[in-house]
Structure 1
Amino acid sequence: MKLIEMTNGEATIHVEPGSKGHEKAIGNGFEAKSPKAKPAAEPKTGEPKAFAEMSVAELKAVAAEFNVDLGEATKKADIVAVLEAKADEALGKTA
């Protein structure tokens, strides 16, 4: 049995690819750690990081910081959509 390492930015777990535990981990914001992945470059001071560039864990942290209810959103694209809609609402933008 081969295990992969997954993290959500706060915790690290090991799961079997394709298992129910793997699917549950993804649903809870865990992403596979790549041993060859380079650390993401930190944005320059004053340059906010775009939602699309953030990990699921970072997106959830932003939502928590600004008290944004993500509802049923668990996938990155869905979380980004909720946060972008809330940002537009806060800035008075309409679709």
Structure 2
Amino acid sequence: MPERRVTVASKVGLHARPAALVARAAAAQPVTVHIAKDGGTPVAAGSVLNLMTLGAGHGDEVLISAEGDGAQAAVDTVAELVGTDLDE
């Protein structure tokens, strides 16, 4: 199962606009993408509510994972967004 650790770059964390952008990208993938805060329970990244309740703030490390055909590309796509400052 592909997975990737990434640091949340947005100043507001995974809330509001960044959460919406990440959820939209995750939901568009051919596999279910999961995200977890270090040591936390993974949640489906395709849900804005899941991302906001995750409590991942600026500078927090999260683990992004997926399973199935296209999982590596899905993980890379979502990780790229989480690691980008989406506040602008």
**Structure 2 length normalisation: TM-score?**
0.25
* Larger of the two Rg values belongs to structure: 1
RCO comparison, higher one (Cα < 8 Å, 6+): 2
**Structure 1 length normalisation: TM-score?**
0.24
